[in-house]
Homo-oligomer: A and B are copies of this chain.
Amino acid sequence: MNFTLEKSLEILERTPDVLITMLQDISADWTSVNEGDETWSVYDILGHLIHGEKTDWVPRADIILSENSDKKFKPFDRFAQFEDSKGKSLSQLLKEFKILRERNIEQLRSKKLTDKNLEDKGIHPAFGEVTLSQLLSTWVVHDLNHIAQISRVMAKQYKAAVGPWTAYLKILQS
């Protein structure tokens, strides 16, 4: 499937409400635990999504579209949420994510991107030239990736409880 802005927005617009529907007022036993070792809890993942709204997707689109000749992206901090989320409830994170996402979508729409804009390029710190359409596609897949991850982290809390069924549940093996 080729990138289109409208199909991308169909996903990007829904994600905050998907997360609110999944997580609002659920027991902390589902959201405060991780998959072991250095993995993330649902709470950590929400903080990561918030940091992406603030520093990744739209700020990088702005770099690509700017008049400035320096098109280098700032590296993304994958651990910022451990500081930024401190003292916030899960409910606050869900709300914050929704507000930031709405604002970012508004900004994206207001750019009235042309087909030519979508081919404009920025410089990613690890793999060099990337286009605006690749950045925006990645934003969409990144959302879906984290919805899947949240489902998996929660599922694993019942890994022992399912008994022999664990053999049939692929999500518990990954």
Copies of this chain in its oligomeric complex: 2
- Within the complex, the shortest CB–CB distance from A49 to chain B, in Å, comes to 14
Chain A interface residue bracket vs B = 35 or more
In the bound complex, residues from chain B placing their C-beta under 8 Å from that of A147 are 22, 147-148, 151
Query: A21 on the interface (CB 8 Å rule)?
Result: yes
In the bound complex, residues from chain B placing their C-beta under 8 Å from that of A172 are 141
- Of A62-70, A86-94, A103-111, A132-140, the segment with at least 4 beta carbons within 8 Å of chain B is A132-140
Using CB atoms and an 8 Å cutoff, list the residues of chain A in contact with chain B.
Answer: 1-3, 6-7, 10-11, 14, 17-18, 21-22, 26-27, 29-30, 33, 124, 127-128, 130-131, 133-134, 137-138, 140-142, 144-145, 147-149, 151-152, 154-155, 157-158, 161-165, 167-172, 174
